[in-house]
Amino acid sequence: MLITPLTDADTNPDASENETAVEVLIENLANENVSVKSEVVRSLVDIGEPAVAPLIQALENDNPDIRKNSAIALGKIGDERAIEPLLDLLDDDNREVRHAAEIALGNIGEESIDLLVSYAKNQDNAVYSRTIAVIVLGEYGEKAVPSLIQLLSDDEYFLLHPDVRSALNKIGDPAVEPLIGLLDSADPDVKSRAIQTLGDIGDDRAIEPLGKVLNDESEQVRDLAKSAIEAIENQSKDENLSLVSYGKTPDFYIEDERWDFLDKLDIIVTASETEMDKYIRPKGPVYGYGYSYYGYISVGIVADSGANESKLNEIYDIFDRHAQEIGVEDVPVMFEYGDVVAGEGQPVAGEGEPVTQKTPGFTGCLPIMVILLLYGKVRTCP
């Protein structure tokens, strides 16, 4: 007599029902309705551990929507088993899938730091996906600093150094002292990278140590130290510039909700162009405007223009009126007061992250814009 081993479904009928439910939910991750996809991800996250293995398997599905939203669900569940499959997804052919894997890895937590570092160091992996691994490390804060410092100190990983600097800049304060420690390096290139990163971060603690390398034997080191000190002093002045926000930025549970809302912001910004013309410098106080990946319209105001609350209300009303025309209530708008560099017409970047340019010289060309450009969501800077 052939004896068939019992499965979980045989001994636990609920297990079979759960497996079926998970399979049906995963199929609906490709639903055309964004709200349905969001609710499906919520349901899978609520199911938790029993959904992990099927979701990992779904990362190999032919449908990019299923791969993308499976990654998002795994990131929210936070199971360590998903780390390596998500790392593999950084090489996916689809941009949105790769971005979803990046977000998911950032959500899982610090348990993935060692794997991310190993992935970034492995030169058999594509450079793009290795840089994404570095970017994700920046989401883990202080605990990722030693690994990032090691990458910054090693010439072998020179292709990653720009993104390592960006990650350390994002971490900010906890990275300052370790970077100051690199100023004692005998390698002028390591010292130079540390100086540039300290200039990026802009912490006053770095001014005195940077002053000590102004007499370094390397001309490159001396010049970079001088520039970094000037950058830090300028950033200290810019901290007095203010941000004024109107409306409410929505919460995005899945990336499809974000892109759906960004499409609406694009419609609003485009519809407002004619009315905004009279507010653009030199006619008015606005040096540029656009919308951010983070889900708000950003308006740059020349700091010494005298623009008051009444003027901001006028500008907000333009965007709000066009927003209501397409059913968007309390459209989020961030006003950023900033200086304009004399003779260049270029505003000094502050905390806002505008991403669509509407006037020459606007700081729409920020790093975050790259993400939107990849998705074809914005126009490029002239």
- What region does 9 belong to: left with phi over 0, alpha with psi -120 to 50, or beta? alpha
Instruction: Give CA–CA dist 342/80, Å, rounded.
Output: 52
Closest-CA residue to 65 (of 197, 270, 210, 255): 255
Label residue 14 by pLDDT band (50, 70, 90): low
The answer, yes or no, to whether residue 7 has pLDDT greater than 60, is no
| β-pair type (333-338, 297-302) | parallel
**Where is pLDDT greater, at 149 or 10?**
149
pLDDT band, residue 322 (cuts 50/70/90): very high
- Higher per-residue pLDDT: 284 or 374: 284
Burial class (CB in 10 A: 0-12, 13-18, 19+), 164: buried
Q: Give the pLDDT band of residue 230 (cuts 50, 70, 90).
A: very high
The residues pairing with 80 across neighbouring beta strands, listed in sequence order, are: none
Residue 296, classified by CB atoms within 10 Å of its CB into exposed (0-12), middle (13-18) or buried (19+), is buried
**What pLDDT digit, counting tens, does each position of 128-170 carry?**
889 989 988 998 899 999 999 999 999 999 999 999 999 999 9
- Least trusted range by pLDDT, from 13-27, 80-94, 128-142, 240-254: 13-27
Question: Which string of b and e fits 59-82 if b means at least 16 CB within 10 Å?
Answer: bebeebbbbbbbbbbbbbbebeeb
Alpha-carbon span 266 to 300, nearest angstrom: 17
Reply yes or no on whether the pLDDT at 173 is more than 80: yes
At 240 the pLDDT is: 52
Indicate the Cα dihedral angle 276, 280, 285, 290, nearest 10°: 70
For 244-281, write each residue's pLDDT tens digit.
999 999 999 999 999 999 999 999 999 999 999 999 99
Q: Is residue 56 a contact partner of residue 82, using CB atoms and an 8 Å limit?
A: yes
Q: What is the pLDDT of residue 20?
A: 81
pLDDT tens for 323-353 read: 999 999 999 999 998 766 544 444 333 333 4
User: 370 pLDDT band (50/70/90 cuts)?
Assistant: very low
Give the chain's mean pLDDT. 84
Residue-wise pLDDT for 40-69, tens only, equals 999 999 999 999 999 999 999 999 999 999
pLDDT at position 238 is 53
> Phi, psi (5° rounding) for residue 255?
-65, -30
DSSP 206: G
The pLDDT assigned to 260 comes to 95
SS3 242: coil
pLDDT at 349: 35
Among 72-81, 103-112, 201-210, the range scoring the smallest mean pLDDT is 103-112
